[in-house]
Amino acid sequence: MSSASLNVEIRRIRELAPGIREFSLSRTDGEDFPVYSGGSHIVLSLPLGDRPHRNPYSLLGDPTVRDTWRVAVRKQEESRGGSRWLHEQAREGMRIDISAPVNLFPLIRTGRRHILVAGGIGITPILSQARELARLGADFEVHYAYRGPEFGVFSNELEALAPGRVHHYVQSRREQIEFGSLLAGRPLGTHFYICGPAGMVAASMNAGKSLGWPESHLHSEQFLAPTGGEPFDVKLALSGKAFTVPSDLSLLEAIEQQGVDAPYLCRGGACGQCELEVLGAEGELIHHDLYLSADERASGKKIMPCVSRLKGGCLTLNL
Ligand code: FES
């Protein structure tokens, strides 16, 4: 893994709602976890078949609690196996490897006010951010949208952290966040943070920009799950490896399976850490990431192997 790996035991599994499970993890060496910052995620290495399957999940507990880390996982029906394994095969007492925490969604501590917005399972990084803000005595509010009353799984924890400052939006009651009014007329120095479905994130960003919010005050997190696709061939120019990426593996996973160490942080197309230089592409690069600019995509010189692929013949990478 690109960051230090820790072996942990699944101490407790809680069924929070249909298709949502929470996992409490403790180190198997008896040591404490490091303190992390609100918004951090870890990567779980899950034992699927003959290779580990690595998925990122946000830490949702109290960042200062060092004997237990908590993550919540929504079962993705279209999953290639990671969330399904966690829902169908994971048991208390099992051991898995996890990465050290990485924060791609940090709070801006100098902010004068903080607006936190969560859609569905996007509540997980927002919850740890809310804990951090509550501990700092910061001025913040939370807007939590979910499908039906049974899916507001962290409502009580949020209410305890921010009494009177948590706003609920229940989709089955036709309640939704109006980003135009939420973001209008906010005082200078306000920061906005959102984690949720792509359409919701895009709507909030568009509303903020059209209201004149500086981009530096609009923060979002969105991890994409790698999608499968047609197999394609890869040549690694530096290591001399040549192999085929099968339809059910990402390019990054296929590179790792060759024993080649490739960098990554989010494994979800968001951070840019896994960027590789394309030396040649016989076919069309299919970019799924959220990182490359339109010009970078058009250049055909870069690819994010955690989520993007080639449609066609052979891809040659400077690796
Ligand atoms: S690991 Fe973050 S974009 Fe690929």
Residue range 113-170, pLDDT digits in tens = 999 999 999 999 999 999 999 999 999 999 999 999 999 999 999 999 999 999 999 9
Helix (H) or strand (E) holding 117: strand 113-119
Rounded distance between C-alpha atoms, residue 55 and residue 93, angstroms: 20
3-state SS class at 298: helix
Q: Looking at residue 53, what is its pLDDT?
A: 84
Contacts of 240 (CB under 8 A, 6+ apart): none
Q: Looking at residue 81, what is its pLDDT?
A: 77
Q: Looking at residue 92, what is its pLDDT?
A: 98
Residue 285: φ, ψ to 5°: -75, 125
Q: Looking at residue 79, what is its pLDDT?
A: 67
Cβ–ligand 1 contact at 102 (below 6 Å): no
Q: Looking at residue 1, what is its pLDDT?
A: 44
Q: To test the ligand 1 pocket, which listed residue (271, 276, 317) has its Cβ within 8 A of the most ligand atoms? A: 271
Q: How far, in Å, is the centroid of ligand 1 from the Cα of 178?
A: 31
Q: Looking at residue 51, what is its pLDDT?
A: 72
CB 118 within 8 A of CB 145: yes
CB 99 within 8 A of CB 56: no
CA-wise closest residue to 109 among 70, 135, 142: 135
Closest ligand 1 atom to the C-alpha of 265? 1
pTM: 0.87
Q: How far, in Å, is the centroid of ligand 1 from the Cα of 267?
A: 5
Residue nearest to atom 3 of ligand 1 (CA): 269
Rounded distance between C-alpha atoms, residue 243 and residue 300, angstroms: 21
DSSP string, 64-115: T--S-EEEEEEPPTT-SSHHHHHHHT--TT-EEEEEPPB-SS---TT-SEEE
Helix (H) or strand (E) holding 201: helix 198-210
Residues of the chain falling short of pLDDT 50 = 1-2
Q: To test the ligand 1 pocket, which listed residue (222, 274, 287, 309) has its Cβ within 8 A of the most ligand atoms? A: 274
Measure CA 233 to chain center: 28
The tens digit of pLDDT for each residue in 284-313 reads: 999 999 899 999 999 999 999 999 999 989
Q: Looking at residue 265, what is its pLDDT?
A: 87
3-state SS class at 308: coil
What is the number of residues in the chain? 319
Measure CA 296 to chain center: 23
Dihedral (CA of 291, 297, 302, 304) sign: positive
Q: How far, in Å, is the centroid of ligand 1 from the Cα of 77?
A: 23
DSSP string, 1-68: --S-EEEEEEEEEEEEETTEEEEEEEETTSPPPPP--TT-EEEEEEEETTEEEEEEEE--S-TT--S-
* Count of Cβ atoms closer than 10 Å to residue 141 Cβ: 17
